[in-house]
A and B are shown apart, each in its own frame.
Chain A
Amino acid sequence: MEVIQVKNLSKNYGALQAVDRVSFAVPEGSVFGMLGPNGAGKTTTIECIIGLQKRSGGEVTVLGLDPAISRKELYGSIGVQLQETVYQDKAKVFELCQLFSSMYPDPLDYKLLLERFGLEAKTRTYLRNLSGGERQKVAIVLALIANPRLVVLDELTTGLDPQSRREMWAYIKELQAEGRTIFMTTHYMEEAAHLCDQVCIIDEGRIVALDTVDGVIENAGMDTMISFETQDEIGMVLEKLPGVNRVEQEHEQVRLYSQKEDVLTDLILLLREHAVEYRKINISRPGLEDAFLQLTGKEWKEKVS
């Protein structure tokens, strides 16, 4: 079953086309990641999906409801963490938890949630005295109190240190294991690669790739690079290997580019056949960053907004 279905979603602010005919579907129980640079349209897409903004065109269905019509009904079964939201900083953690618990007919026990996120010692702490990571955990706890089937996380880990970020990843995996569907946006390619069953790369309001992480990388048509060092002059020989697109040799350093999976075997056999001595063999597969560069022509930057 699809938890989110988006068909030709468009949103424009006057002449500015923030989101341009975006379509995708998020199956129940999956983690769906939306990637893109600042201003690509990620937050606008999220806000149209959860009904915080009116879409200019297209169709959106979330848990069988149209968020433009059944906004309030929807909020009973989704949990959201919005980008850059800070809660009332003079409130204590448990006070906000109690308020959110009173909003839903069948809330999860916030004490258990705080415990689960390692916040039990912070129950009576003012929000302004929490670290960035702790605040984000509180944001998740508040999103989870509704016991939501769909959790929407807009740049949850932006600005967190690497350790807190990895901690968040573990929590997101846990939420998925509980059967919840996660819709997230992120700035971090490695985060998407680690968590997402499907990613959607968006640039200037348009989808440039929509696939599994491996699928995106594969379809971007980039070469795997194998490099090694040798004193022999063998560039010419290597070019004849089947599936090799390009060979570069600079002094001792040889680099070979191919999209063929088993080119490494062929390479080793060939080197042995010619009795070539080699060392420091290294394979680098293209990552999501490279795919992004290939697809958008833009350098990926981990900007902290």
Chain B
Amino acid sequence: MNVFPKLTILEWKLHLRNPLTVFFALAFPVLMLFLFGTMYGNEPNEFMSGFGSVDVLVPGYICMIAAVTGLMALPLVLAEYREQKILKRFMATPIQPQDILLSQLIVNTLTTLVGIFLLLASGRVIYNLKFFGNVLEALAAFILILMAVFAIGLFIGGVTPNGRTAIVVSYVVYFPMLFLSGATMPLEIMPQSIINISKALPLTYGVTLLKGIWLGERLLDFPLEIGALVLVTVLFGGLAIRLFRWE
């Protein structure tokens, strides 16, 4: 009865059959890399505080991938499964509907990792991407970011009545974060008004944290960012647990 691995493998297949997920998590970040890599290259420049443009942009793209899976793919599937009564159907089997939730978290983590791998590999091969920080600290930052976006995604997926509402809510949350958190365009080039807005977006703290560590700063240099991500995880994770509706 190796049902959980079977469930997870099936859910991953289904996940990859969603062209939107595949494009935004796997292809889009690489395309962004090509676009800005072609425009600016990766030579150290003064505008980027002496770093190469690609080196500065890639940590933001990593956050973007986490946001795609956590804020778009995850809530959409959960809301759809509830709407179509799939969660309820699985309640009437020997497996737990929580298993579906868990398999969704695993699947979205896997896709995130694959997306990051593609991004880093192309960055390395084409633009000689460099990493200046501590790998373990970067990993810790990544886990904090992933937990925060998944908590928001679980919350959206847990309370929206159907797939369509979930898409609308995800887009409303996702797109501002995509453009205004520094994930795609550095906040340094933004006017003060946008920077003020960005402070209200959870992903901003993730981007700042991961970018900082990537470029050589230490994890403990970012107590505010870590605090914000933990707060978001606890807040939305707690709300999701309390308010999640199976049907």
Chain A residues with CB under 8 Å of chain B are: 50, 52, 72, 75-76, 78, 80, 82-91, 95-96, 98-100, 102-105
Contact = CB atoms under 8 A, between A and B. Distances in A.
A90 B92 contact: no
B88 A102 contact: no
Contact of A102 (B6, B17, B81): B6
Interface of B: 1-3, 6-7, 10, 13-14, 17-18, 81, 84-86, 88-89, 91-95
Given A99-B6, A102-B6, 4 more contacts: A78-B92, A85-B84, A91-B14, A102-B2
A77 to B, nearest CB: 10
A105 B1 contact: yes
Contacts, number: 61
B18 A99 contact: no
A82 B88 contact: yes
A72 B94 contact: yes
Contact of A103 (B14, B17, B18, B95): B95
B3 A99 contact: yes
Contact of A88 (B14, B88, B92, B95): B14
Contacts of A72: 94
B156 to A, nearest CB: 20
B94 A82 contact: no
Contacts of A88: 10, 14, 81, 86
B93 A52 contact: no
A47 to B, nearest CB: 9
Contact of A85 (B14, B86, B94, B95): B86
Nearest to B3: A102
A100 B85 contact: no
Contacts of B94: 72, 75-76, 103-104
B15 to A, nearest CB: 9
Contacts of A84: 85
Nearest to B18: A90
A100 B86 CA distance: 13
B18 to A, nearest CB: 7
Given A90-B14, A99-B10, A85 B85 contact: yes
Contacts of B10: 88, 91, 95-96, 98-99
A75 B17 contact: no
Contacts of B85: 82-86
